[in-house]
A and B are shown apart, each in its own frame.
Chain A
Amino acid sequence: MAADAQTDLFTFGLANKKPLKEQVTPYKLALLVLINEYSVMKKEENLSPDMFVLGERDLLVVKFTETEKRNFMITILQLLQSQDLTLRELSLRIQDMNIRPVLFEIFKDRLRDLYIVGIRMIQDFIQASSRLLSREELLESCITNFSVLGVFVRRMLLTFEKLTFSQIIKLHAKFVDYYIEGQKEQVPEESNIFTGSLTDTALSLSDVRFNKSGLARSFDASHHTDWKSSQNPSGFFSQKQAEYFIAQQGMLLQHNENEALSPQLLQERIMDILKARPDIAEAHFLSYLNSLRVKEYCTAVHNLYHYFDRNVNLMETNSTNKGREEDACRRYAALNLALLHYRFGHKKESKAALHEAIRLAQGTNDHVCLQHALSWLYRLEEYGSVKTANLMERAVAKSSELNLPNLTSLGVQSLAKHNAFAGAKPSSVFEYIMKSDILNCQHSQSGFMCMSYAQKSALWKIYGKRECHAMTSQLVLNLDTSESCVYHNGESVCIALCNIARLHADNGQYTLAFDMINNAKLQFPPHTQHAYLWMSCEQEILFDRTLLNRKWSITEQAIVNLKALNELEAELRHAILSKEKGDVTSALSQLNTLLEKLSKADTEVSPDFKCRVLITLAELYSQSGNPTVAINYILECITRSRQHHLQQMEAIASAHLAYAQLQMQLPEQALKLLDQHMLTILSHGSVYDKARVLYCSARCQVALGAKSTKADKKTALLAAVNILDRVVDMFRTVEAFMRVKDALYYQARLYNELNYTAERNKCAYQFKQLDQEYPTLSKACVNIL
């Protein structure tokens, strides 16, 4: 009894009287008119089939074709689901509908009647509409009670029935206003549009227009109409409209941000909804998502709290159920708060909120919530530790038990990544990911599918399989991820685009690479969540390119830009630049500090990063004529690469080792080592790497030839010259002009040795030309791999 009393007591006061779920608005009235006229026309057509009736209404007896009927139905469905449109927009949509213009004419006439005659007409009209609903004798022609239209008509009739007389007067006043508003702007343009649509619709445009799906069209419409310019903002007057809108936009925000309304516009719409229906708590949540999108912390927090305060469903009278739901709501509130803090990078706060959620969930034995919390927990825990791995394993096991495919899939993917970083065998890692693929396939989770491919492509990359890497990246873009004609557009897509851009850049196709980046820019505008991916990719490519073609002012700028996005990477690249500039001491100190940092936080970066640092160090030493010291680092790098199965990294390190051996007058060993790894590099390396390794092998051959007989020496020199031709070409494609110059010089010397004067002079000439543009200023940039 007590519980009953409580719920009965709690009804909000007059001002907060819940607005009716459905309302008769002028827009709906207009729709009703449209449906009415359409049905009447159809009815008459049925009454007098194939008969040509003369008289004033003979035009009506045109038979609708099947296409026309379909078009009408599709449009009416969209109109029913959209928010209230102004009369002008509505008229445009009807004209666009690709149906006999007669319908629109009659529709307009009828609206004018309603406007002129007043409430008597409205009431008559409503009464007439009730006749539309099917009765036995007219079964075919009318609207069935349970069809979409039938439900709409009945709802309108019911709602109208409930209105008091003064409310009908008010409705009429609103309608008059609506009509005048619609007519005002229309008058000058009307004839123009109308004749245009007459011919257009009949002719070519029809097919093109309807190729687009229904949903896309409805959003087009909302994109194109400028809400701000029309002083009469259309509202969400019925709960259905608002809910549909919120669900739609929420889905789009998650699936493909670009297709959703722009943040500002969306916020305005949300404000409209809340003004009209303050009881719809979901609107606050949508607003929260929207704020997350633009990284607006304060509003996001306020909205989140507001949503969860409001979310309690008071209409539910079932008291036992209610209490449980409220508890759940609170758990998820804390969980969402954790998520919010995580999104803004507040890890500590996030953890505190998460622990709260876990405590609440444990209190009520809510395993589903606990699983969600667990998947957050392993994200928040220190990355790469054994504890985290244990958490992940538990998460995977338990979520598959509880039948939560998305959490399982996520857990599998995270664990696979963890294993890969921890140096597990590649085959086992890929096998494990397959588990996630199967789940994604079974439950068609398009977002996770993309993620899985993106992860595989990343794995291929660190394992040094370039072609597989390229293929999986392209697969991400190639997946059919559409949900109601909207493609998935998330982090993985952006990553794939960046991967492909980087691949192009590695091949020296810089323009293509920047085309890819530009594409990413369009898909992920700078203010969005994933934009940092293409930003850093762009800067890295810029860095690589300008480092090689010696535009160091841009290189420095790229480092500064990169620093904001990825600090470690920027530091490494800064060291590389110092090294290239010949600033040995600062490069050395930078690299050493970087190494120290990595030894402290080894697990947080991908394993190949440390290898890159080591190689750079080795390069630095060998550049400054210390191959013996360099070897230490190279060997460390090789061990590390083997440990993590980084094949390409190992090959490159070996090439460095070979070069060091060459420097130490051991060309034989060097050549042997190079031959071992040549295949990997030629098949998976970037153009620059290939050229460097080939160049090194040519030098080894020459060095080896110097020790042998004269004939052998000549063949060795000739072979080297041929290789160098290729090397020069390759260096040219990646715009590494200093290296081109170096190779040319070497080639010239070889020709000189061979007494090929003409060829020698040609090389020398080319060298001279390049030397004027790119003079050699320090010794450091000559004697390198």
Chain B
Amino acid sequence: MMADFSIWNLLQVKTDLITAHRECSQRRLINSAKWAAELSYSLRHVKVDLQPLASFQEGEVDIQEYDRIILATSYFDLKEYDRAAFFLQDCKSPKGYFLYMYSIYIAEEKRKVDNASDSIGPPDKMENEHLKSLRIKLSKKHAARELDGFCLYLYGVVLKKLDLVKDAMDIFVEALNKEPLHWGTWQELATLITDREMLLSLPLPSHWMKQLFIAQVYIELQLNEDALQIFHNLEKKGIANSTYILSQIAVAYHNMRDVDRAVTAFTELQKMDPCRLENMDIYSNLLYIKEMRPELAHLAHKCCAIDKYRVETCCVIGNYYSLRSQHEKAVLYFQRSLKLNPHYLAAWTLMGHEFMELKNTSAAIQAYRQAIEVNRRDYRAWYGLGQTYEILKMPYYCLYYYRMAQQLRPNDSRMIVALGEAFEKLDKLQEAKKCFWKAQSVGDVEGTALIKLAKLHERLHEDKLAAGAYSEFINQANIQGTFSYEDQSQAYKYLANFYLKNGQLDEAYEAAQKCAEYTENREEVKAILRQIQQERTASVPQKRDLRIDDSCGSITTDQVDQDHTPIRLSPVSCNLRFNTP
């Protein structure tokens, strides 16, 4: 499905984009028009004949409707939607009808938002009255098959607002089949899709826009690799300079926690479109993680200069303050961004983090909870709640939150490690072992799972497994070049003792030598070395060879704890690869 790039004919794409922009902007679908224009701009190297595209528009409507429409659109541009609707009442043409319905819709939505500030109670049914009447009108027309793609889009939006998701999806699909060039419809549909099967089962037109849509859905479903593949394919096809695609790629990298590449993508994006504010909150998150203070300061300054009343700006500034450890100010800015858009989920979670820094746990819990109420699938908030309760010394209580987080991100090692730590605190060592092993096998981000697993094995006196885990830890540390002083010295020390006990004197010697490089255990190491010396003089070489075989066999076949043998490695082959970093 996603490999289907044969329909990508750049000339065609460019023509389509220009048409799409024209149609959308005539209907005042500003965002879709902007999107089409952006993409079209990125294809500026493709030359098309603009003449037929420009002159195409006038013939279809008669002159009376034309007057009405331009009058109404002028009012519309001035945000006088009711007025626009009034003059469009009698329009018969599809475009006129769409504009009429659209201005009614916008007028009512605007009124709703305006009234929200002095509402006297909870939202009541009256507020959706206009949606119902719109729905009735549109469904009549729909039954008579008089709706074009744009009107169907509006119908779908109304249905979606009324929580009739199933119907809304059908209508959106129908709209797309009639009018595949309208990006807004794709976008609305993307928010309704909950899993890959659902996506695959939709009867969508095979249009080039579909690829972009699928990529967008993949990103929302956190299927980042798949999304990236599509975007990279698009880049190969020649749309290299699109800001949209670049930003999406950056977001995908961010989701995958591939910080460096995400930062690179964002810096490139900054170069191409320096005044862009969209997605800058994510960029600031990345800079925060990398602790790139000057860059973040620069970004905050720039954003603030461009528009200080934007959610993204507030978020960037909040992050900046947080990095400077001025957490109270950070909270202030996150709150401001929430005032601008109460559904801006990330701010709730970030605010929770700030409260944690301020040691105001109950406020943090509230903030996280709020985030969850806005979106139940926000794993960061669940994780944050878990951490909060862990700090409050409630390891059993926090299990629930970590579990929820882990369910939402089954392959994120951080959640699993957190779960494992909680289990360890509760003395449920078997469960903890399972968690650490799983964390290791899904790709450990923080590199702590292995050492924890090894310590756990050591605690349970599962010597061979512990040795295996320690040596694997050392290998990984050497490969990745990470360096943890204490852990490594401990690992070497354990290994030295282990080999000594098993009579593998050469290995023991090597490990002890390594261990001697670390200052803290020097005395013990000396003792070990002395012991090795004694053993050497006492033991017979042939016997030692036999023993190696023995240990090899015993580790792979009869382990102490059979039910979840975490690491299957023959220690001899592994343990001998002690390379210096």
Contacts and interface: CB of A to CB of B under 8 A. Distances in A.
Given A6-B360, A16-B370, A167-B120, A352 B339 contact: no
A378 B400 CA distance: 25
A59 interface: no
B369 A306 contact: yes
B122 A9 contact: no
Interface in B236-290: none
Contact of B363 (A6, A13, A163): A6
Interface stretch (B144-152, B328-336, B435-443): B328-336
Nearest to B122: A276
Given A13-B335, A13-B339, A15-B343, A171 B120 contact: yes
Contact of B328 (A5, A25, A326): A5
Interface stretch (B90-98, B296-304, B390-398, B491-499): B390-398
For chain B, what secondary structure do more than half of its interface residues adopt (helix, strand, loop), or is it mixed? helix
A232 interface: yes
B115 interface: yes
Most buried by A among B123, B362, B392, B400: B362
A20 B397 contact: no
A163 B373 CA distance: 29
Nearest to A11: B335
A19 B122 CA distance: 7
B122 A360 contact: no
A171 B119 CA distance: 10
Contacts of B197: none
A305 interface: yes
A334 B122 contact: no
Interface in B121-145: 121-126
B363 A309 contact: no
A322 B362 CA distance: 10
A359 B395 CA distance: 11
B309 to A, nearest CB: 14
A237 interface: yes
Nearest to B374: A15
Nearest to A237: B121
Interface in A335-386: 337, 352-353, 355-356, 359-360, 363
A235 B365 CA distance: 29
A13 B342 contact: yes
Contacts of B331: 9-10
A163 B369 contact: no
A174 B126 contact: yes
B369 A16 contact: no
A163 B118 CA distance: 9
A5 B116 CA distance: 28
The winner among B122, B126, B369, B392 for most chain A CB atoms within 10 A is: B122
Contacts of B120: 20, 23-24, 163, 167, 170-171
A750 interface: no
A321 B332 CA distance: 25
Contacts of B362: 312, 314, 322, 326
A10 B400 contact: no
Given A15-B342, A309-B369, A353-B397, A9 B335 contact: yes
B512 interface: no
A20 B122 CA distance: 9
* Residue among B339, B397, B426 with most chain A CB within 10 A: B397
A333 B363 contact: no
A93 to B, nearest CB: 22
Nearest to A276: B122
B366 A312 contact: yes
Contacts, number: 108
Interface string A299-331: 001000110011010100000001000100010
Contacts of A306: 369
Contacts of A163: 120
A19 B397 contact: no
Interface residues of A, number: 51
A582 interface: no
B115 A170 contact: yes
Contacts of B365: 309, 312
A326 B335 CA distance: 23
Contact of A174 (B124, B339, B368, B392): B124
Contacts of A174: 124, 126
Interface in A261-291: 275-278
Contacts of B126: 170, 173-174, 177
Contacts of A14: 116-117, 338-339, 342
A235 B332 CA distance: 34
Nearest to B123: A275
Nearest to B397: A334
Interface string A409-434: 00000000000000000000000000
Contact of B426 (A13, A276, A314, A352): A352
A275 B385 contact: no
A275 B128 CA distance: 15
Given A19-B122, A174-B126, A9 B328 contact: yes
Contacts of A360: 393-394
Interface string B148-177: 000000000000000000000000000000
Interface in B368-405: 368-370, 373, 385, 392-397, 400-401
A166 interface: yes
A24 B120 CA distance: 8
Contacts of B328: 5-6, 9
Interface in A1-48: 5-6, 9-16, 19-20, 23-25
Contacts of B339: 13-14
A359 B393 contact: yes
B363 to A, nearest CB: 5
Contact of B400 (A170, A276, A301, A312): A301
B209 interface: no
A164 interface: yes
Nearest to B344: A13
A235 B124 contact: yes
B332 A9 contact: yes
Nearest to A174: B126
B121 A23 contact: yes
Interface in B489-521: none
A314 B362 CA distance: 9
A54 B220 CA distance: 78
B193 interface: no
B122 A167 contact: no
A306 B365 CA distance: 10
Contacts of A330: 392, 394, 397
B342 A277 contact: no
A328 to B, nearest CB: 12
21 contacts: A6-B358, A9-B328, A14-B338, A15-B342, A16-B370, A164-B118, A174-B126, A177-B126, A237-B122, A301-B400, A305-B400, A305-B401, A309-B368, A310-B369, A312-B365, A312-B366, A314-B366, A333-B397, A352-B396, A360-B394, A363-B393
Given A14-B342, A355-B396, 8 more contacts: A9-B328, A13-B342, A14-B117, A23-B120, A174-B126, A278-B373, A337-B397, A356-B397
Rank and list the top 10 A-B pairs by shortest CB-CB distance, nearest first.
A15-B342, A13-B338, A276-B122, A312-B362, A309-B369, A356-B396, A352-B396, A23-B121, A13-B339, A10-B363
